[in-house]
């Protein structure tokens, strides 16, 4: 074991984690949910970072679904504002990725997609993996 | 006399042969040293670039976004073909959140480990950042406040990741346009402490370094000089854009001269084992991609 690793104190870090969780939650809410900026930050910089993050998420949604891109031309301020609102109200992207995020957005603006994919059951995927691994062995 | 002369003649021939063999060995050793000192060239694998990557014979490694391949059966044939060709495949995660207050999810570690096993990868990588807090999964890499207290948590998280991996973990510096108040140390000191305490290696993103040095007004060269560069495993290079005086590491604009200059400087300071280009969107014409790869290779 390395010398500097031996110097690591074997302590309970739960209080460190609690303080860290609180400061990180405040920051993430300020950036993604329009919550008040935590004390001490450069407000202008946080505002700029927040806009950049929202734009990045919107771009992911647009790329994932041509229908969203089609109804969101760059000059359509109304739809773009709805996209901004959707992202602010749903700060966590869909866990299954940007395509599902785009379907949620279409539902948000009152459009339903006929092509909602059927989610493969986990047990099926697991069985396929096991069979493939068996074949490789 | 004749026998003695014959023995001498044979001895000469043997000596010459041995000499040739030794020279050959020295040449081979030099060759292999030169090859090992070579910087390998790579690129971030994206579906839009699959065909392009397939056509580039000088690409020696590709990095895949681990979060894009949540099931092994979703791995595209293009990647399997690259692997067959001998291209190294490096799983790169965006979601371990080793800089977060929560313990790292064992499922995420297991997934990264299974990708490394599948591709027989020499290592895996992620970022010194957090991506979730307050029940919000941000989908973005966010900076950690650089305090001794947070440093201890980050190191504990990294140790838990390492314990679940069968290959080394490599950690990357992130780009940011703002900084925390109340930092107790600068970024290079924080990263150095993490790498040394957890005995991990470095993925140095030079474009992120340029972004931060520009946005947060510090010297990129001082930063480079204070990193433990003997831990350098590979380098990321990506394009970005200036907006309202800030530099955004967008990964969808052209590579900037400032990032290339940092790569040139880095190569004068230390051996760079691998360097790669990242491009995520607004894909340029093939000629532009090739010239960016050449610029990286020749920096």
Q: For position B32, what pLDDT does the model report?
A: 40
Nearest CA to B274 among B173, B203, B190?
A: B203
- Give dist(CA B123, CA A73) in Å, integer: 42
Angle at B222 between CA B43 and CA B179, to 5 degrees: 75
Q: Does A90 touch chain B (CB under 8 A)?
A: no
For residues B251-272, average pLDDT: 96
- Give dist(CA B277, CA B275) in Å, integer: 7
Q: For position B10, what pLDDT does the model report?
A: 52
For residues B7-31, average pLDDT: 47
**Residue A22, token pair as written in the block:** 């609180």
Best B46, B72, B73, B181 member to test A by mutation, with max A CBs in 10 Å, is: B73
Query: b or e along A119-131 (b: 16 or more beta carbons within 10 Å of the residue's beta carbon)?
Result: eeeeeeeeeeeee
Check whether B211 has a pLDDT greater than 70: yes
> A13 vs B153: CB contact, 8 Å cut-off?
yes
Q: Phi and psi at residue B252, in whole multiples of 5°?
A: -135, 20
Percentage above 90 pLDDT, chain B: 82
The gap from C-alpha B133 to its chain's centroid, in whole angstroms, comes to 27
Q: Which of A7, A23, A59 sits opposite B281 (nearest CB)?
A: A59
Check whether B14 has a pLDDT greater than 70: no
Q: For position B214, what pLDDT does the model report?
A: 97
**Residue B208, token pair as written in the block:** 């992120």
Instruction: Give the ipTM.
Output: 0.84
The mean pLDDT of chain B is: 90
Q: Which residue of chain A is at minimal alpha-carbon distance from B178?
A: A45
Q: Which residue of chain A is at minimal alpha-carbon distance from B73?
A: A129
Q: Give contacts of B196 with chain A, Cβ < 8 Å.
A: 4
Chain A nearest-CA distance from B281, in A, is: 9
Q: For position A59, what pLDDT does the model report?
A: 85
For residues B15-35, average pLDDT: 43
Q: For position B170, what pLDDT does the model report?
A: 98
What are the pLDDT tens digits along chain A (137 aa)?
343 443 444 567 799 999 999 999 999 999 999 899 999 999 999 999 998 888 888 888 888 888 887 776 666 677 778 888 888 888 888 888 888 988 988 888 887 654 555 555 555 566 555 566 555 44
Q: For position A106, what pLDDT does the model report?
A: 87
Q: Note the pLDDT tens digit of each residue in B107-158.
A: 999 999 999 999 999 999 999 999 999 999 988 999 999 999 999 999 999 9
Q: Which residue of chain B is at minimal alpha-carbon distance from A1?
A: B199
Confidence bin at B237 (pLDDT 50/70/90): very high
What is the three-class DSSP state of B235? strand
Chain B nearest-CA distance from A90, in A, is: 9
Highest-confidence segment of A86-100, B9-23, B70-84, B140-154: B140-154
Whether the CB-CB separation of A76 and A50 falls below 8 Å is answered with no
Highest-confidence segment of A58-67, B69-78, B233-242: B233-242
């Amino acid at each position: 074991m390395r010398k500097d690793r031996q110097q690591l104190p074997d302590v309970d870090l739960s209080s460190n984690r609690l303080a860290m969780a609180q400061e990180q939650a405040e920051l993430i809410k300020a950036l993604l949910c329009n919550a008040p900026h935590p004390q001490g930050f450069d407000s202008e910089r946080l505002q700029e970072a927040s806009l950049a993050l929202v734009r990045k998420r919107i771009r992911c949604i647009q790329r994932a679904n041509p229908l969203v891109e089609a109804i969101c031309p760059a000059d359509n301020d109304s739809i773009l504002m709805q996209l901004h609102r959707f992202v602010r109200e749903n700060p966590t992207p869909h866990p299954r990725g940007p395509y599902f995020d785009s379907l949620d957005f279409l539902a948000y603006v009152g459009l339903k997609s006929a092509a909602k994919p059927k989610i493969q059951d986990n047990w099926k995927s697991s069985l396929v993996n096991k069979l493939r691994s068996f074949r490789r062995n | 006399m004749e026998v003695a002369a014959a023995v001498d003649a044979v001895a000469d021939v043997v000596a010459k042969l041995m000499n040739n063999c030794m020279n050959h060995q020295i040449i081979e050793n030099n060759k292999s040293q030169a090859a090992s000192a070579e910087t390998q060239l790579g690129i971030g694998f994206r579906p839009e670039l699959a065909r392009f990557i397939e056509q580039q014979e000088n690409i020696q490694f590709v990095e895949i976004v681990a979060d894009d391949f949540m099931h092994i059966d979703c791995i595209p044939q293009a990647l399997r073909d690259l692997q067959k060709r001998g291209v190294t495949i490096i799983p790169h995660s965006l979601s371990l959140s080793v800089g977060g207050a929560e313990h790292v999810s064992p499922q995420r570690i297991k997934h990264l480990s299974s990708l490394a096993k599948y591709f027989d990868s020499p290592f895996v990588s992620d970022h010194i950042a957090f991506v979730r807090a307050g029940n919000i999964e941000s989908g973005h890499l966010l900076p950690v406040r650089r305090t001794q207290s947070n440093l201890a948590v980050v190191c504990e998280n990294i140790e838990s990741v390492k314990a679940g991996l069968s290959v080394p973990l490599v950690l990357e510096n992130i780009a940011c346009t703002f900084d925390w108040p109340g930092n107790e140390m600068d970024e290079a000191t924080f990263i150095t402490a993490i790498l040394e305490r957890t005995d991990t290696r470095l993925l140095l993103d030079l474009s992120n370094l340029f972004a931060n040095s520009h946005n947060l007004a510090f010297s990129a060269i001082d930063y480079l000089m204070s990193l433990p560069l003997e831990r350098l495993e590979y380098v990321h290079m990506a394009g970005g854009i200036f907006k309202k005086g800030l530099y955004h590491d967008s990964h969808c604009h052209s590579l900037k001269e400032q990032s290339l200059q940092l790569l040139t400087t880095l190569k004068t300071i230390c051996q760079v084992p691998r360097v790669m280009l990242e491009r995520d969107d607004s894909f340029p014409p093939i000629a532009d991609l090739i010239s960016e790869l050449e610029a990286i290779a020749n920096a």
